[in-house]
Amino acid sequence: MSGAQESAAKLPAHIAIIMDGNGRWAQARGLPRTAGHRAGADAVRAVVRECRRLGIPHLTLYAFSSENWNRPKTEISALFGLLLEFLGAEVATMVEQGIRLQVLGDLDGLPLAQRTALRHAMNRTADGKDMTLNLALNYGGRAELVRAARALAAEVAAGGLAPEAITETALADRLDTAGQPDPDLLIRTSGEQRLSNFLLYQCAYSELWFTPVLWPDFGAEELAKALNDYAGRSRRFGKTREQADGC
- List active site positions: 20, 68
Q: What is the per-residue binding string for ligand FPP in 165-204, x denoting contact by CB under 6 A?
A: -------------------------x--------------
Shortest approach of ligand FPP to residue 162 CB, angstroms?
40
105 binds ligand FPP (CB under 6 A): no
Q: Among 135, 175, 187, 223, which residue sits at the site for ligand FPP (rule: CB under 6 A)?
A: 135
Binding residues for ligand FPP, rule CB under 6 A, total 19
Q: Among 44, 94, 121, 223, which residue sits at the site for ligand FPP (rule: CB under 6 A)?
A: 44
97 binds ligand FPP (CB under 6 A): no
- Answer for the pair 71, 103: CB distance below 8 angstroms, yes or no: no
Shortest approach of ligand FPP to residue 65 CB, angstroms?
7
Distance CA 132, CA 13 (A): 10
- Answer for the pair 4, 11: CB distance below 8 angstroms, yes or no: yes
Shortest approach of ligand FPP to residue 146 CB, angstroms?
22
Q: Among 20, 176, 182, 184, which residue sits at the site for ligand FPP (rule: CB under 6 A)?
A: 20
From the list 2-10, 33-41, 115-123, 151-159, the region that binds ligand FPP by CB under 6 A is: 33-41
Cα–Cα distances (Å) from 237 to 141, 206, 233, in that order, read 22, 10, 12
23 binds ligand FPP (CB under 6 A): yes
- Which value, to the nearest 10 degrees, does the dihedral of the CA atoms of residues 150, 199, 195, 79 take? -100
Q: Among 10, 46, 57, 68, which residue sits at the site for ligand FPP (rule: CB under 6 A)?
A: 68
Q: Which of 22/138 has CB closer to ligand FPP?
A: 22
Q: How many whole angstroms from its chain centre is CA 137?
A: 10
Distance CA 57, CA 133 (A): 8
Shortest approach of ligand FPP to residue 106 CB, angstroms?
16
Distance CA 227, CA 7 (A): 8
R_g (Cα) of the chain, nearest Å: 19
Residues that bind ligand FPP (CB under 6 A): 19-24, 37, 40-41, 44, 63, 68, 79, 82-83, 86, 135, 190, 215
